[in-house]
Amino acid sequence: MPSQGSDSRGLEAHQGETLELAAADVTALVAYARACLPEEACGLLAGIDGVVARTHLLTNVERSPSTYTIDPREHFEALRQAEREGIELLGCWHSHTHTEAYPSPTDVAQALYPEWVYVVVSLRDPEPAVRGYRIVAGKVCAVTLVIG
Ligand SMILES: [Zn+2]
C-alpha cells in the first residue's frame, strides 16, 4: 500500500508509478490549451505500458473556463482508434486556466476511471506546469510524468 506522504495535502506517492510522454506531445498540449483560452482544453492519452503513443486534443463540450467534459463522440472515436492500433486509453488531460496543476474538487468527483492517469496542464503561471495524478475513490495520488 502507498504510504502517506509528507506533503501538506496528504498526497500519497503511487509507488513509483510513471507516465511517459514525448516532449513534443507536451508542447502540443500546452499550445492547444493556450489556443482554447479562456476555456479549459481537454483530451485523451493513448498508449501502452505507461508510455503515451498518441495524444488527442479534443473538444470541451462545456465551453467553460473552469470545468470540462470531453465530447463523447470524440472520446468514442479515440477509443476505437486505440483498439485499431492495439493500444489503450491510459488517461485524459485538461487545462487549468487560472489555478494550479492539481485536480479540483470537481475533477476528483468526476474522475470515473481508477485505471487512468489524469494529467493537468496549468496555465496560471508564465511557465506552464504539467502534472499527473491517479484518482481512486476520491483520493488523489501523484504520478511522475517522464517527459523525454
Ligand atoms: Zn480541472
| Domains in the chain with CATH codes | 24-147 (3.40.140.10)
CA 130 to ligand 1 center in whole angstroms: 12
As a whole number, mean pLDDT of residues 70-93 equals 98
pTM score over 0.85: yes
pLDDT digits (tens, 9 = 90+) for 89-112: 999 999 999 999 999 999 999 999
| 14-18, 54-58, 75-79, 136-140: least confident range | 14-18
The type of residue at 117 is V
Per residue, the 3-state secondary structure of 11-67, as one string, reads: CEEEEEEEEEECHHHHHHHHHHHHHHCCCCCEEEEEEECCEEEEEEEECECCCCCCC
Q: What are the grid coordinates assigned to 15, written together?
A: 509507488
CA 131 to ligand 1 center in whole angstroms: 12
Q: Outline where 37-142 has alpha helix (H).
A: 72-85, 105-109
CA 96 to ligand 1 center in whole angstroms: 6
Residue 105 has what pLDDT?
A: 96
Mean pLDDT for the chain overall: 92
